[in-house]
C-alpha cells in the first residue's frame, strides 16, 4: 500500500474513530466540520484514500476503510 500524506492519514484516522464510535462512517459534511476543512478538501482526500487502496466505495455515499 502507498504511504499517506499527514492530512490523508488524519482523514483516515478521523473516519476510523467515528466509525468505531458510531458503527457507520461519517458524512463528508460531518468529517469536514470536525476537521475544519471544506467538503471539497474532504472529497479530494477521500479520493486519494481510494486511489491509494486504503478505502473503497461501497455505494455512492459510503466508503469502507481497508
3-state secondary structure 2-58: CCCCHHHHHHHHHHHHHHHHHCCCCCHHHHHHHHCCCHHHHHHHHHHHHHCCCEEEE
pLDDT of 9 reads: 95
- pLDDT per position as a tens digit, 14-50: 999 999 999 999 999 999 999 999 999 999 999 999 9
pLDDT of 32 reads: 95
* Segments making up each domain of the chain, as ranges: 6-65
Asked if the model's pLDDT at residue 1 lies above 70, the reply is: no
pTM for the model: 0.88
Determine the Cα–Cα distance for residues 28 and 17; give it in Å rounded to an integer.
14
Write out the CATH class of domain 6-65.
mainly alpha
pLDDT of 18 reads: 95
Amino acid at each position: 500500500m502507498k504511504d499517506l500524506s499527514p492530512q490523508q492519514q488524519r482523514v483516515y484516522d478521523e473516519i476510523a474513530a467515528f466509525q468505531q464510535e458510531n458503527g457507520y462512517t461519517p458524512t463528508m459534511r460531518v468529517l469536514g466540520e470536525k476537521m475544519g476543512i471544506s467538503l471539497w478538501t474532504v472529497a479530494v482526500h477521500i479520493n486519494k484514500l481510494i486511489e491509494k487502496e486504503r478505502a473503497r466505495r461501497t455505494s455512492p455515499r459510503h466508503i469502507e476503510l481497508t
